[in-house]
Amino acid sequence: TYVSTRVTIGRHCHLNTGSSICHEVVLGDFVTVSPKGLICGRSRIGDLTFIGANATVIEDVDVAGNSTIGAGSTVLHSLASSGTYVGTPAKLIRG
């Protein structure tokens, strides 16, 4: 697991094996990043969000709280509403 500089990690977060949290990322409370999950620089992940295995959140993206990002998905744009997102690019399948 790699955590870069100026990262803010909320309460009770879980960073699994091989996950990477890049510069200036903000993780809300109760965020889980699964094995090999990647959160790129300056992204913000809301409270109670689950990032699946091998999922990627690119730079400068906001992910709404109480969301699930499926395994292997890539988040290319900010996700303003809570829900379950899968695919590349990640699309809402359940809101």
- pLDDT tens digits, 13-43: 999 999 999 999 999 999 999 999 999 999 9
To the question of domain 2-79 being in CATH 2.30.110.10, the answer is no
Q: Are 56 and 75 in contact (CB under 8 A)?
A: yes
Cβ count within 10 A of residue 80: 8
pTM for this prediction: 0.96
Domain boundaries of the chain, sorted by first residue: 2-79
Contacts 24+ apart (CB under 8 A), 76-84: 82/46
Q: Measured between alpha carbons, how far is 57 from 37 in angstroms, rounded to an integer?
A: 8
Residue 95 confidence (pLDDT) above 90: no
Q: What stretch of H or E contains 7?
A: none
